[in-house]
Amino acid sequence: MTLIMHRLLAACLVLSVTWIAAGPRPAEAQTVLRVVMHSDLKILDPIWTTAYIVRNHGYMVYDTLFAMDAKGEIRPQMVDKYEVSADTLTHTMTLRDGLMWHDGKPVTAEDCVASITRWGAKDSMGQKMMSFVKDFQVAGPKTFKIILKEPTGLVLQALGKPSSNVPFMMPKRVAGTPPNEQISDTTGSGPFVFKKDEWKPGDKAVYVKFAQYKPRAEAPSGLAGGKVAKVDRVEWRAIPDHQTAINALLAGEIDMIESPPHDLFPVLRKDPNVKLVDINPLGLQYTFRFNVLHKPFDNAKVRQAVFYALNQEDFLKAVIGDPKYYKVCKSFYLCGSPLETMKGLDGLLESNFEKSKALLKEAGYDGTPIVLMHSTDLAVLANLAPVAKSLMEKGGFKVDMQSMDWQTLVARRAKKDPPTQGGWHAFLTAWVAGDILSPVMMGFLNAGCDKAMFGWPCDQEIESLRDQYARETSAARLKAIAEAVQVRATQYPTHIPLGQWFQPAGVRKNVEGNLQGPVTVFWNVERKGR
């Protein structure tokens, strides 16, 4: 073998070794953010359920016409120009240039009209807004008009609604799916693309950066402003055991836990590589929800008895524990919000068991067991039902507490079947601030019978007041109407507020850019090294 051939062979060997060593590097060069979310993703249609994990999924994949910023103001997102006619009956919206679906097709006005229509048939606030809508008119590829029957201030508030159900925009072919039928196509126009082929419920959900996404030029604020994806891939990992998730965070195997249990905060504080980040400074509210379709909760006095039997402190201590992260707050609207009020709440939520028993006697309660659904897998919900069971039994109820994971509960709560046939009487959940700031925004105050959310309250007086609220523009009058709604909701209970609480996320210190707002989002988030 000649010297030249030896050298050539040696060079080839070096190149081969270099190529082999470099083979995996393109994948490794990708910035991957690994997160344990508060729940597993099992449903993909963001208007099919109010479950927050599905809402969070929606924000990854889809975009919105308007968005709420960190100050609570509604700002344009997909919309470039927004005009209102002198009589306030015609709202004209023109989309930004460069908006594109994940399949490469441009976003059109027709897509948006179809999306609003589908969402408006399902969402409580959307239904109220649509009751004012006379017609939609498509005025060009990027321009459409909303024609109202009468003036309302709900258009921007509804289209900029920050939380469940969010009016996400979808292609017309997807938005054409009947509202009571789940979508199967997850094509969006948001900053991330859902990798449906990698989705394994109970294991992981994967999102990759959409390179063609065109963010707004403004700095991000809350859910508004520029949505800049700063990581290539986001993986939501399902780790149901809380201690295992905490250990993975401490070891650097994952980068973030959205909702770590409050009793494990001391462990996180001790680690120099981990920080607690208050993503949602406005907090959340625990809620007890009635199903009014079936006895005995078809009787308002029986529901009032629960109001008297419960108290907030017991729930907050049992779940949150540390007073630093909770607040006793009877107001249906969060304490600290513009509509905070204690009207109609005197004597309620103070565990007056004798009053509860007296109301049950007046109502003729026959001892029918209350089927109380108990979510077991979410740390921030798991202890709620046992506390409710204990207090209700002291107040004269018989309670059949049935345990299940949250996603099973979410599916079951949509059923109208009798409790003895797979239905339910009550469950407990939590709402973020962005869902409960007004009587129109608050889904559990929808008392529109079959059009109401699961629980299906049916009360003309509440609906009349909510209609008045939708028409009103005076701040003082809006406050008075909101108070009247609350008073009526204690006479015809739709649900019971069980206190305000706060949920910081556990985050590795090399992760930066988490935005504050009612929703955990992943644009603007960076992962720097290890």
Whichever domain contains 127, its CATH number is 3.90.76.10
Same domain? 166 vs 293 = no
Instruction: Name the residue among 525, 524, 410, 469 with its Cα closest to residue 158.
Output: 469
Structure tokens at 372: 């109380």
From 142, 160, 177, give the residue that closes a domain. 177
Other Cβ atoms less than 10 A from the Cβ of 135: the count is 10
300: three-class secondary structure by DSSP:
helix
Q: pLDDT by residue for the chain (530 residues), tens digit each? A: 443 334 433 443 333 333 333 334 444 579 999 999 999 999 999 999 988 999 999 999 999 999 999 988 999 999 999 999 999 999 999 999 999 999 999 999 999 999 999 999 999 999 999 999 999 999 999 999 999 999 998 999 999 999 999 999 999 999 999 999 999 999 999 999 999 999 999 999 999 999 999 999 999 999 999 999 999 999 999 999 999 999 999 999 999 999 999 999 999 999 999 999 999 988 999 999 999 999 999 999 999 999 999 999 999 999 999 999 999 999 999 998 889 999 999 999 999 999 999 999 999 999 999 999 999 988 899 999 999 999 999 999 999 999 999 889 999 999 999 999 999 999 999 999 889 999 999 999 999 999 899 999 999 999 999 999 999 888 899 999 999 999 999 999 999 999 999 999 999 999 999 999 999 999 999 999 76
Task: Please report the pLDDT score of residue 29 as a whole number.
Answer: 75
Task: Please report the pLDDT score of residue 473 as a whole number.
Answer: 80
Q: Is 261 left (phi over 0), alpha (psi -120 to 50) or beta?
A: beta
Task: Please report the pLDDT score of residue 21 as a whole number.
Answer: 34
Structural domain range at position 166: 63-177
Whether 452 maps to a domain, the answer reads yes
CA-derived radius of gyration, the chain: 25
From 146, 177, 208, give the residue that closes a domain. 177
Structure tokens at 253: 């195997």
Question: What pTM does this model have?
Answer: 0.86
Same domain? 325 vs 473 = yes
From 142, 177, 212, give the residue that closes a domain. 177
Same domain? 173 vs 294 = no
Whether 120 maps to a domain, the answer reads yes
Same domain? 337 vs 453 = yes
Whether 381 maps to a domain, the answer reads yes
Q: Report the C-alpha gap between 42 and 201 in whole angstroms.
A: 6
Same domain? 350 vs 483 = yes
Task: Please report the pLDDT score of residue 530 as a whole number.
Answer: 63
Q: Report the C-alpha gap between 67 and 78 in whole angstroms.
A: 9
Same domain? 288 vs 160 = no
Question: How many domains does one find in the chain?
Answer: 2
Q: Report the C-alpha gap between 72 and 87 in whole angstroms.
A: 26
Q: Report the C-alpha gap between 202 and 42 in whole angstroms.
A: 8
Length of the chain equals 530
CATH of the domain at 471: 3.10.105.10
Whether 241 maps to a domain, the answer reads no
Task: Please report the pLDDT score of residue 475 as a whole number.
Answer: 86
Strand ranges for 291-357 from DSSP E = 326-327
Q: Report the C-alpha gap between 182 and 44 in whole angstroms.
A: 8
State the DSSP H helix or E strand holding residue 439, giving kind and residue range, or none if neither: none
288: three-class secondary structure by DSSP:
strand
Same domain? 313 vs 171 = no
Whether 100 maps to a domain, the answer reads yes
Structure tokens at 206: 């994967």
The answer to whether the beta carbons of residues 400 and 337 sit under 8 Å apart is no
Same domain? 293 vs 417 = yes
Whether 507 maps to a domain, the answer reads no
Whether 33 maps to a domain, the answer reads no
117: three-class secondary structure by DSSP:
helix
Whether 18 maps to a domain, the answer reads no
